[in-house]
Structure 1
């Protein structure tokens, strides 16, 4: 490794030179403080050079901004809202519920149970017979009849005081073996069926009825 030779005593600065260098450095630093640092940072310009170089104006701007920031901070503290006052909750009693009277619906009138009947009759050749129901106006009867052979029939009704041959025909047929449906009374009286056997043999007829009628007559 190459080692540099130590300087000789004659090459080293003397104490006077060191003091001079230190004095120059100190003077330079003081000059910079007075002419540059103080004008630019604190707007202090004892020599006037700082304003000439525009440094004093910068310092004034810095100080103005700092003062405005302090003023804004103080204003914000003054404008802070006071803590909210706790208001005790007031308990409001619920309004009384009006009592509503419960009205029970009227019960429908109990209708009497429907009457039911099953009857039969036998017609000889050429014979005619009838079965009648006593009914009030507007009442209804469901019926069904069947015959062992073809017969002529007439479903009709008569008022209680009807003259001979005065009746109302609901439906009729010739040479049929049965019929079914509903019979609605158009008036108070007797309502039913007339059959005639036009064959050469006996014919048995079976009739079933169910509905609102007073009685059955053969």
Structure 2
């Protein structure tokens, strides 16, 4: 049986060659980190090569999605651990101003909205409004912003730990439709202002629900 011959001392790389190869590998790894990994994963682009390759935009999207996921998780945790505020109660925390409700008068058409809420959101600010509904009840809704755009999440939370996401929107100025409750609980909208201007958001609703309230 033939075994491969062991290389002689003269055939082995020298210490200088090993150091040179190691330094070259470290340089290549550093270049890949700066031009590919940092832009694509963290939107950090010190050389500008990541944006030219379209990697920085990918990193910005990942970072924005991560921020929104953290905000949604924080909102869900706050909703579970803190009592929900009545919609008409005064809210004094920053970026939660200007909430109003109105009820159509008897002279308005039968198709008029039952409730209307107006919220002012500064850039980066968030708000959440829920309808208290029973399983199978349906409510109609329409919301819009006067300028800019928001990200939205239409979802529901039940007393028994149930949760469901009905719809998610990105960079929207309006939405309209019907919401049918999948279980008894609170069902509604979470918005975050992702534009660089303060927006006025108007929500109008009618249908089968017992209460409209703001929880954030």
TM-score when scaled to structure 1? 0.45
Q: Which of 1 and 2 has greater Rg? A: 1
TM-score when scaled to structure 2? 0.45
